[in-house]
Amino acid sequence: MTMSDITNILLVGVGGQGTLLASEILSEVFMRAGYDVKKSEIHGMSQRGGSVVSHVRYGRQVFSPVVPEGEGDILFGFELMETYRSLPLLRPGAKVVANNYRIPSPSILLGQESYPEGLEGKIRGMFPDFMLVDGLKIATEAGNPRVANTVLLGALSQRIDIDESFWIEAIEKLVPRKALDINLQAFRKGRVL
C-alpha cells in the first residue's frame, strides 16, 4: 500500500466479543504508523449479544469514517455468521480473517431456524484469501478465553504490512494493565498462525 491509498477494514461480531476494543487497537496501530485514521461503530443491541460493526479506514488522508458498500479491503470477523452476512460490503479480491466461532441468534435458540452449515466453504469460494482462526481454542490454551479478540488481531497483523512494534505499543496503551501479559501472549500466538 502507498500512503495515498485508503485501506478499508470492517470488523464484525456480536456484542461482548471485544470487537470495539479491537477497532480501537487497530486505529491506534495505524496512527502510530503515521496514517490518518477514521473509525465508525454501529452497535445493534451490542450489550445483549446483537450485531456489532466497526469501520476503520486509514491512508494519507481519510475524509469519511464509513467504508462505502462494496469497497471493503479486509473483513475481520469475530463470529462466523456475522462474517458471512458482511461479505457484500467487500470489493472483489478482498481479504477475510474470521474466527471459527458460532453464536446462535435468538431465532436459532428458539428453534425457528438452524445455524447455516458450510459457511467456511462459502466464504472461501467467494474470497480465496480467507484465514479461519480458532480464536477461542488458542485463547483458552493461552490461559484466558476472553483474549480471543487479541489472538485474532495477531492473525490479522500478518495480513497488514505494519511493523509489529506498533501493534505491541497499541496493545500496551489500550489493554488494562492487569490483562496486558495474557493479551500480548495471545497476540503473539495469533501472529504465528
- What's the confidence (pLDDT) of residue 113? 86
Grid cell 470487537 is found at 19
Across residues 40-60, what is the average pLDDT?
78
Q: Does residue 143 sit within a domain? A: yes
Question: Is residue 77 within 8 Å of residue 12, measured between CB atoms?
Answer: yes
Q: Does residue 77 sit within a domain? A: yes
- pTM of the complete model beyond 0.95: no
Q: Does residue 171 sit within a domain? A: yes
Q: Does residue 72 sit within a domain? A: yes
* 90 strand-pairing partners: 72
User: How many domains would you assign to the chain?
Assistant: 1
* CATH number assigned to the domain comprising residue 167: 3.40.920.10
- What's the confidence (pLDDT) of residue 151? 97
Looking at 44-193, which runs of residues are DSSP E strands?
51-59, 72-77, 90-99, 130-133
The domain in which residue 23 lies consists of 6-191
- What's the confidence (pLDDT) of residue 47? 52
Q: Does residue 1 sit within a domain? A: no
